[in-house]
Amino acid sequence: MTDSAENDVLIDVHRGVGRILLNRPKGLNALTTGMVAAIDRALVAWEGTPLSAVVFAGSEAKAFCAGGDIRTIREYSLAGDADASERFFATEYKLNARIAAYPVPIVSLIDGVCMGGGLGLSVHGAFRVVTEKAVLAMPETGIGFFPDIGASYFLPRLPGAIGMYLGLTGHRLDAADALYTGLATHFVPRDSLDAVADALADDPGAPVDAVLNRLAGCSPVAGSGLAKVRGEVDWAFGAPALGEIETRLHHLGTPWAAAALTALEAASPQSLEITHALLTRGRQQTLRQCLDTELALTRTVIRTPDFLEGVRAALVDKDRSPAWRRAADDARSQPA
């Protein structure tokens, strides 16, 4: 199976600003190994270049980046090609770590869908700009996987129990929610987004924050739906165990709690257990430790029935009806 990133990532330097454009619109800019490697090579090459900023963007309005090309990872697993899967995750996580430590400010322009690996590209950088069309999520428990790309580091560091809620349910955040949680740092209207790179180039000595604030329209943060249920989120998802989270949601009995329960019931039981443990542990680990833990987990999780079935249901057959492996199923499969 080949993986060419030619034309899938467009890279240049314009007036002192490094520009990286994800250009795989038919795949919603989902990342392949070649794309990740091309971005990493560009960042390495620019480390000695006097840039005022590096800007990440998507080439079309539907998506900044829908995540990693997880459908291809499933194909690797079915073919028994563990090396190809290892290459993808190891390359991606190395890039996540590089972005987090990069000496030049990285500005991600999030317009449309930003999920999974898209958050890996953006959240570890200093500046995450969202438009009114931005949609952010970590939906991995719904495909039999777990929140990776350093999510076990950044989700537990969100306010209260928001990170646990997002990681377990895959809840989608709009621009207001993204700003409220801190996953986004700035708001710029979609029709002003193309001006960001030029504005940074026009005023290379100015703080990036000041340049972005000049471009901002009226921020939607006051309209955050997540802010309105924050007390319920913290109480329910701050519980020490999965079963207690579900008990508290039943006790609340609110529309938000019912929706959260529905999301948990639709997710892979295996993924919920892994995610809860991973995020609980990640609170006291460094980013590097979290990425190492996640890489070790990928080696086994991508071969499990839940992962193969979850990706099939969501991305291959698209019937949205995964048949998860339940604890009762495992018990019945054991010899008497």
Which residues are known catalytic residues? 68, 117, 140, 148
- Listing DSSP states for 254-271 in one string gives -HHHHHHHHHHHHS-HHH
CB atoms within 10 A of CB 265: 10
How many CA atoms lie within 13 Å of 136's alpha carbon, on the beta-carbon side?
33
Beta-strand pair 53-58/63-65:
unpaired
For residue 22, the SS3 value is strand
Rounded distance, CA 306 to CA 117, Å?
A: 20
Contacts of 51 (CB under 8 A, 6+ apart): 13, 16, 17, 18, 104
Rounded distance, CA 179 to CA 203, Å?
A: 25
Residue (of 131, 133, 132, 136) closest to 121 by Cα position: 136
Chain centroid offset of residue 286 CA: 18
For residue 183, the SS3 value is coil
**Strand order, beta sheet including 63-65:** 63-65, 113-115, 135-137
For residue 129, the SS3 value is strand
Rounded distance, CA 323 to CA 213, Å?
A: 47
Amino acid at 224: S
- Listing DSSP states for 267-328 in one string gives S-HHHHHHHHHHHHHHTTS-HHHHHHHHHHHHHHHTTSHHHHHHHIIIIIS---------HH
